Homo-oligomer: A and B are copies of this chain.
Amino acid sequence: MPKFLDSLPMILSRSLDRVMPSYRRLFQANDLTDQQWRVLRALWEKQHLTSAQISQITLLPPPSLVGILDRLEKKNLIGRLRSTEDRRHVHIIPTQKGRALMEHMMPMVEGIHDDFMQRVTESEWTEFNRILDKLSDPAEKRNLA
């Protein structure tokens, strides 16, 4: 008889609720929401991305992304640039201000991450990811390996 609180969705939700405040304090100190940072963070590794790419990387649904990008643009942290080759694409590019903010925040974000990592051994972290993958793998891919 699986208790409600021990169901997979509740366990994951509760963990997220416990993990996010550490990050959120930093985001708020820099006047960003969780999702706004997610977008900036995605642009850290690539210089420019289309909305669809950002959506895929950040897991934010495209309709949600519209408003998030609007607000980032209003804060002058990103710019939109329609591609000349394929004019269906819109490139999202961080501004100078946006890039400066990212460079300011990244070390602290990594610091928070490191704090969490110090709670477990490397093999625990590996094992954790392995089991979570088994648990949450999309059903289609499950019967392969």
Contacts and interface: CB of A to CB of B under 8 A. Distances in A.
A11 interface: yes
A129 to B, nearest CB: 7
A8 B116 contact: yes
A14 B59 contact: yes
A59 B13 contact: yes
Interface centre among A13, A19, A129 (most CB of B within 10 A): A19
A131 B134 contact: no
* Interface range for A: 35 or more
Interface string A16-48: 111111110000000000100000011011000
A63 interface: no
A8 B19 contact: yes
20 contacts: A1-B110, A2-B110, A2-B114, A4-B45, A8-B19, A8-B116, A9-B34, A10-B59, A12-B15, A12-B19, A13-B16, A15-B135, A19-B136, A21-B139, A119-B134, A119-B137, A120-B131, A120-B135, A124-B131, A125-B131
